[in-house]
Amino acid sequence: MKNLRMKSARAAKDMSQQKLAEIVNVSRQTISAVEKGDYNPTINLCIAICKALDKTLDELFWIE
């Protein structure tokens, strides 16, 4: 399932996938895979992404 909330949070901060990848210390393709829903990140990566985008885990990764 695509993670559109993460994509929109990143776009709201005017941040490219490459920039976010550099902040959380992963490859750009990994950020792309998380947004597309092709890869389930570990809790450590989820937390790093949330910190970089100033969001909570619930806001970005909780599925209703």
Partner 1 sequence: MDTMKITFIIVCAAIAIFILLIKKYSMDDSNRYDERQVAMRSKAYKFGFGTVLAYNVLYYLATAIFFEKPLMQDGIAPMVGVCLGLVVFAIECIRNDAFFSIRQNPWVYMLLCLIVVLSNGYVSFQNIRDGLLIKDGLMTESCLQPIITVTFLIIIIAIIVKLIFSREEEE
Binding site for partner 1 (CB under 8 A): 16-17, 21, 25-30, 32-33, 39, 41-42, 44-45
Nearer to partner 1, 5 or 32 (CB): 32
Nearer to partner 1, 42 or 64 (CB): 42
**DSSP, residue by residue, 23-63:** HHTS-HHHHHHHHHTS----HHHHHHHHHHHT--HHHHH--
CB of 4 to partner 1, least distance (A): 15
Task: Give the C-alpha separation, 53 to 9, whole Å.
Answer: 7
